[in-house]
Amino acid sequence: MSTHFEYKTKGVCSSKIIFELDGDTIQDMQVINGCNGNLKGISALVKGANVHDVIDRLEGITCGFKPTSCPDQIAKGLKEYLSAR
């Protein structure tokens, strides 16, 4: 059964991440705003991946002088999804 989960990002150019998940597997992900091509690429790479693996790979990535990034926000969104279940 698929779960729809939306995460409002903080401190980055993107404004929202929309996840479609089946348990711990990412079925689809869409990032609203931000660097379009890069975020479409990341979305394609995480499809079918385990939530925990994606968190491990993306958490802590920064963007320039910012303490976070869109990939880090993806990890934060997935952590929020896990804590909300």
Give residue-wise pLDDT tens across range 4-19.
999 999 999 999 999 9
For 49-67, what is each residue's pLDDT tens digit? 999 999 999 999 999 999 9
Number of C-beta neighbours around residue 31 at 10 A: 26
Burial class (CB in 10 A: 0-12, 13-18, 19+), 37: exposed
Is the confidence at residue 1, as pLDDT, over 90? no
Assign domain 3-84 one CATH number from 1.10.10.10, 3.40.50.740, 3.30.390.50, 3.30.830.10.
3.30.390.50
Domain ranges of the chain: 3-84
